[in-house]
Structure 1
């Protein structure tokens, strides 16, 4: 009888070990594995840099001890550093349940022959829905109305024409970026009756939902009552929406960002809100996280903020667990990974 293969479920308080183990057992014969568990403290303890990797939870010492003799690791946040790799020669697969394996040293993993996989698209639905929620909250001033009601006020003044909200139906909404999230948002907006414009130099117009049209960014900014950002943060897109771009948007328009904080000049955004050029903004991501006490957005009017939660849902956690478990199943069957971050480490 073949000995069970040691596998480590290094979950946290979002992608739970229970979910990882359940998904692994649903994907493969439970008897194939000798399951070990390590619970990491995120999100109750913020992630951060561990040695040379980013956005990691836990310590190198914890992982080295837990990986002793382990060949497969399923995790979201565990730090795969050069030191961990050197101390764990049995490791063959490090399956990361997030859209990018920034907590793994890919060069060192490749040198060690360890395959690193990731889970693109795991939170596309959640982020698209959160985008729509922020959009509606900002356009209809829902948080302000809620706060006033809880405080004992009856703000019927929000019915005044200059104060009352906007509708998606009949509006032109511009989406900057049309990846998995942007396309989902576009389809939902079309269904709600919006005219949807998309600025993305890399998108094939044929892949856009029916009713969405690709345009250049200047046309999108000038034509849209709502602009929602869905671009990756690169050297090309950093600071994409600055003072000039905000000024190019129609007076009384709305900006929404659930992509990356570095896409926006936040000082310019605060000025556009204080000056009344923008009606409102809804943000889930920021240039500095957590948001510092002296950040220019603090105190800006008509602003809806959430603490980088767009990708958080119970469905995302379950989906992420299933996706890494599927990679473990492929490894067990001798198949190549579906989403591998360091293909040179994978041998035929």
Structure 2
């Protein structure tokens, strides 16, 4: 049997070379590898036609997909137009937790299975969450900036300026998937008390105390968000939710920017209702020049980098190669879904 054409539409994070290396190690000569390098992250991702968080153009992807049966990508825009122009295509593996750059109804209509690599950045995102959390509690970036500017703030030992410890603190986690559950395990090592709100989590598997959202907001010294962005969760931390939080609490978001009303957060920081906040994701990215967060006090921010580790890229390449191998072995979407870390099937073949 001749090798099956596979397009790797890589970028400068999950690179073509990295995916090709894992594909060759996993399926050997069963595939003929073709490569297309997309400009992300040197060029920001964004919407392309009807899909979001995509990189590259429909036209270049259509040209690269000529005769291709399997595609592996992190950011390529698999729109209705692209899928309609690729009649040989049967599998798209998206090297991320959610296929926001793929038109799933169109893929289903064209008989294309879409798989993802859930958990690929769980370690990185969990570690980054705790790093942001501790940086916000102790105001490390502000103290560093002051020292670089020539200040020596011994007055920060004054009780009113001191930070807080994680040991003994109550930390509420909204969402208990691959990232939230790992954050919980790390926090337990700090001797923090962990509360969890996730209506879809099995209480028997939760490392912490399951509670409803109002109790979590009212009881937690730190609230950390790890929920998916859905119509139900969009804007869940709004002005009313902030008012239900403990005075002087800390808010952390490394999940999705759409979960939070950021102008309301900025007001809460200015008023002192929130003691501090830490964010890696925003409702508009890149962060607009007029964002109220830029002038808010006691906020720690990073530019959507929680998953940016070498290990995340390697893990994404390995999981995507395993998903291709499962497809070539004839395993259906159900098998992929139940195969643990291999990949998750988003849809099935027609």
Structure 1 length-normalised TM: 0.94
Whole-angstrom CA distance in 2 between matches of 1:85 and 1:220:
44
- 2:157 matched residue in structure 1: 159
Residue by residue, what CA displacement relative to the aligned partner does 1:249-269 show, whole Å, maximum 9, x if unpaired? 222221111111222221221
Alignment partners' CA distance in 1, 2:188 and 2:62: 50
User: 2 CA distance for matches of 1:83 and 1:252?
Assistant: 50
1:341 alignment partner in structure 2: 346
Cα distance, 1:304 vs. partner?
Answer: 0.1
Q: 1:137: which partner in 2? A: 135
**Residue 314 (structure 2) aligned to one of 314, 318, 322:** 318
Match of 1:196 in 2: 194
Written as runs of structure 1 = structure 2, the 5 A alignment for 1:1-348 is 2-29=1-28, 31-209=29-207, 212-337=208-333, 338=336, 339-345=344-350
Q: CA deviation at 1:171?
A: 0.8
2:165 and 2:227 map into 1 onto residues whose CA distance is: 24
Asked whether the 8 Å contact 2:7–2:34 carries over to 1, the reply is: yes
| Contact preservation (8 Å) 2:112, 2:349 | no
1:244 and 1:91 mapped to 2: Cα distance? 47
> For the residues of structure 2 that align with 1:81 and 1:242, how far apart are their CA atoms?
33
The whole-number CA distance in structure 2 between the counterparts of 1:239 and 1:101 is: 21
Given that residues 129 and 254 in structure 2 are in contact (C-alpha distance below 8 angstroms), is that contact kept between their aligned partners in structure 1? Answer: yes
Conservation of the 8 A alpha-carbon contact between 2:111 and 2:348: no
Root mean square deviation, CA, Å: 1.4
What are structure 1's unaligned runs of at least 5 residues? Answer: none
Distance in 1 (CA, whole Å) between partners of 2:245 and 2:105 is 43
Residue 245 of structure 1 aligns to a residue in which SS? Answer: helix
| Alignment CA distance shift 1:331-1:140 (3 Å) | same
Query: Deviations along 1:144-179, whole A, 9 cap, x unmatched?
Result: 111111122222222221112111001111111212
Distance 1:341 1:167, change over 3 A: same
**Distance in 2 between residues matched to 1:52 and 1:245, nearest whole Å:** 32
Label 1:112 to 1:207 Cα distance change in 2 as closer, same or farther (>3 A): same
Partner of 2:340: none
How far is 1:135 from its partner?
0.2
Question: Which digits, 9 at most, give the CA deviation of each residue in 1:37-58, with x for residues without a partner?
Answer: 1100011111122222221111
Cα separation, 2, equivalents of 1:109 and 1:245: 38
Give the number of equivalent residue pairs: 341
Deviations 1:285-307 (A, max 9, x none): 11221111111212100000111
| Cα distance between partner residues in 1 of 2:310 and 2:102 | 24
Whole-Å separation in 2 of the counterparts to 1:318 and 1:105: 26
Q: Distance in 2 between matches of 1:52 and 1:240?
A: 25
SS of the residue aligned with 1:297?
helix
Q: CA deviation at 1:214?
A: 1.0
- Partner secondary structure for residue 154 of structure 1: coil
* CA deviation string 1:6-61 (max 9, x = no partner): 111110011011110011011112x2222111100011111122222221111111
Secondary structure (helix, strand or coil) at the match of 1:343 reads coil
Gaps of at least 5 residues in structure 2 are 337-343
